[in-house]
Amino acid sequence: MTTLILVLLSLAGLLLVLRKESGAKSAIGVMAGFGLVSLIFASGWLALVLFAGAVITAACGLPGFRSAWLTPRIFAMFKKVAPKVSDTEKVALEAGSVGWDGELFTGRPDWQKLLIDRNNGLTDEEQAFIDNQCVHAISLCNAWDVAVERADLPQEVWDYLKKEGFFGMIIPKEYGGLEFSAKAQSAVLQRLASNESLMVSVGVPNSLGPGELLLKYGTEEQKNHYLPRLADGRDIPCFGLTGPRAGSDATSLPDTGIVCKGEFEGKEVIGLRLNFEKRWITLAPIATVVGLAFRMFDPDNLLGDQEDLGITCALVPRETKGMEIGRRHCPIGSPFMNGPIKGKDVFIPLDYIIGGPDMAGEGWRMLVECLSVGRCITLPSGAAGAAAAAVGTAGGFTRVRRQFNTPVAEMEGVQGPLARIAGLTYIAQSSVYQTANMVDKGEKPAVPSAILKYHLTEMQRQCLTDAMDVHGGKTVTLGPRNYLGIGYSGAAVSITVEGANIMTRSLMIFGQGAIRCHPYVLEELAAKDNDDVDAFDRAFFGHAGLIFGNAARAFTQGLGLGHPDVPFDAVTRRYAQAVSRFSAAFGLCADAAMTTLGSQLKMRELISARLGDMLANLYLASMVLKNWNETQPVEGEKELVQYSLGLLLHRTETALDELLQNLPNRPVAWALRALTLPLGRRWDMPHDDVSRALAKSITLATPLREKLLRPAWTTHVEGGVDNPVAQYNDLLVEYERAEKLYRAVNKAYAKGELPQEALHPEDRFEAALKADILSQEDAEFMRDYEARVLEMLTVDDFAFDAFAQQKDSIVRHDAA
């Protein structure tokens, strides 16, 4: 018994040392101490094992011992198996900054680092712009009119966007721009998101475009010329990156710029002869200035002795001879301005290079650094805004739509999708708010930008799919009254652009994070490149300590022992502790995958995707926790935050389970399962009771519905298009009174107190008035209420030949 007690105590001591990553000396002390006690009071064999462990730990863990014999051997092996990082990958890895994503890689995230920078909201100027200019702009856009009747925004909208500076949100005031924060840009796009064409038209010039590139890299002459013109809309920009053979792999650009001599403004100058073919370029058909990425070559060594200068970015005015621009693509669902650009032997001076000749060959770095911020804002914000609009319409419709004499919102089959819409919307809003706040604090979140781009656009697709499902026939029939169908079909665009979602999930999130965010991998690779054995020794054995520490933390916390101290309230504490626990499990599995697969991990995209899913869901859960911690909760929000966090942790655990099922090295996978899931899976999907509560909260006029709808357009504007969210809100304010009267009339009908032929609600109200079941006031209220409900349920119909472009080809089925 004494021996067993000593075994357990020594294991507990070692686990404690490993959890805290106290170092080799502490581990040696534990083993030597218990070995001595064992030698005196218990088993000599146990003492021998513990002493042997102490000696091995000293030889491997103490720098003075290991550097003489162990480190050089490991270093030699590492240099043989370490993956080769290409120059383009190095640029991508070095772009941006590491913040909370890096903490999640450590397995012991320091929550104070996340909470220290509070999101203090918008300035009065920014909020006024969102409440006034944004509302006015969206009130001028009906989805059917924009997408089908015009295939463009109305002229008055373009004029208004230019006049009010929508295209200059990121441009400093000294150049005539609005100089909005990242949070304000996000809020603008969320408010505009119920019309995809409008959101994209405003978002793109403020993210990946010449404006941002000029701000960061442009010459003073370029800034002074272009930025004021971009800010007030005199110039409309686009950026030509992708082409027929260069989509997600932008580094494979076949477009060329050859250094040569040519004539410009009547003089012979050194410049570039461009040949290019671009497609999928947003705003290209109406752009007045084209940002262009191409591969730059100097075969005649006019600039130096380097022939291949690399990817370069330049600004080319629309009227430049040889450039073809103006034709259009038709993006699915929402035909915003998008089209091809071609150029044959287009000559431009070197001064057209963004940043001037000194920035030749720096295009890939410029693009990656801009993408790392822009992808955090535009599409994720549009996704969050579209999800909020789905809350407004799906919640309102299902409450006023009645089947079997009851609102469909009371049916459990409908409540499941409604709860999912609410939860995903809450996650999306929390994530864009808090990540935009990080940008405003000076971070350039490269890995979080990929997380938000993939997961929030997928959430948008799910929310719109669920909203379509609960609407039924209302939204599968296109027309001016259909407020969902066009946005639903256009969701595929967000999934595909700015890094296709399949690629982002499979390659980018973990592929970039594994090296960029890991506490030691980048240092190890740098030591290899510099042939620095001392630096490698520090990094490698620090890495080893991290692995053992994560194993101890994942195992003990998986058993429910030693919960980390987290700075959250009783509502969310256990969720934050679970994030910490899964952070340790993720870090351990990431190291195991990199160790066992080595350079093959690049090709094992499904493994990388599941590791990325773990990281992403932990990041999103952290953003929800931070948002809860910083905002004043409303009634019903406790259930919503618990639903959202439970869903994210369920997804994290699912990704972990699937990773362990598919990790090729099975003994390692079995060991990882024992360490990370010692009691099996513990995070189920949120309970049905919570789903029912959330469905009720977003289908009635509640504080929670109001909070989720804050980013969306919720008001009526005189002279503007109908706003379905505002119309549903009005109906929900009066719903309780209407529901009581519905019940009274239906009860009377069931008892035979009303004529059996009174099948329509309107007929029953009139009959109930005659039978003194309804007062005159109540009858008038129900006439008006039911008329407004019927208007929201009505779908459009058209002339028989309305959809045919070739009228003479129509088959007249009713012809004699």
Residues annotated as part of the active site: 498
Shortest CA distance to 659 belongs to which of 685, 677, 679? Answer: 677
| Structural contact between residues 264 and 273, judged by C-beta atoms closer than 8 angstroms | no
Which tokens belong to 410?
């009371």
Instruction: Give every CB contact of residue 475 below 8 A, 6+ residues apart in sequence.
Output: 467, 468, 482, 483, 484, 485, 488
- Cβ burial 473-500 (10 Å sphere, 16+ → b, else e): ebbeebeebbbbbbbbbbbebbbbbbbb
The residue to which tokens 């959101």 are assigned = 199
Q: List beta partners, residue 270.
A: 261
* SS3 assignment, position 243: strand
Cα 265 from Cα 784, distance rounded (Å): 70
DSSP 438-449: HHHTT--BHHHH
Q: CA angle at residue 751 from 747 to 753, to 5 degrees?
A: 95
Place of tokens 């990325």: 612
Nearest-angstrom CA–CA distance, 599 and 596: 9
Q: Are 290 and 325 in contact (CB under 8 A)?
A: yes
Q: Where are the beta strands (DSSP E) in 196-349?
A: 237-240, 256-264, 267-282, 289-297, 308-317, 323-325, 338-349
Contacts 24+ apart (CB under 8 A), 685-688: 685/646, 685/647, 685/650, 686/419, 686/423, 686/642, 686/643, 686/646, 686/647, 686/650, 688/412
Sign of torsion over alpha carbons 103, 108, 112, 118: positive
Q: Which residues contact 380 (CB under 8 A, 6 or more apart)?
A: 186, 428, 431, 432, 435, 452, 453, 456, 457
Residue with token string 């049916």: 411
In degrees rounded to 5, what are phi and psi of residue 36? -65, -45
DSSP string, 311-357: EEEEEEETT-TTEEE------SSS--SEEEEEEEEEEEEGGGBTT-G
CB 669 within 8 A of CB 663: yes
Tell me the C-alpha distance between 176 and 165, whole Å: 8
DSSP for residue 97: B
| DSSP-derived 3-state class of residue 712 | coil
**CA dist., res. 262 & res. 268, Å (int):** 5
- 694-732 in b/e form (b: 16+ CB < 10 A) is bbbbbbbbbebbebbbebbbbeeeeebbebbbbbbbebb
Give the distance, in angstroms, between the CA of residue 237 and the centroid of all CA atoms in the same chain: 25
Cβ–Cβ < 8 Å for 635, 703: yes
Residue 678: exposed, middle, or buried by beta-carbon count in 10 A (0-12, 13-18, 19+)?
A: middle
CB 354 within 8 A of CB 366: yes
CA pair distance 806, 430, nearest whole angstrom: 49
Q: In the 8-state DSSP scheme, what is residue 291? A: E
- Would you tell me how many other CB atoms lie within 10 Å of the CB of residue 5? 11
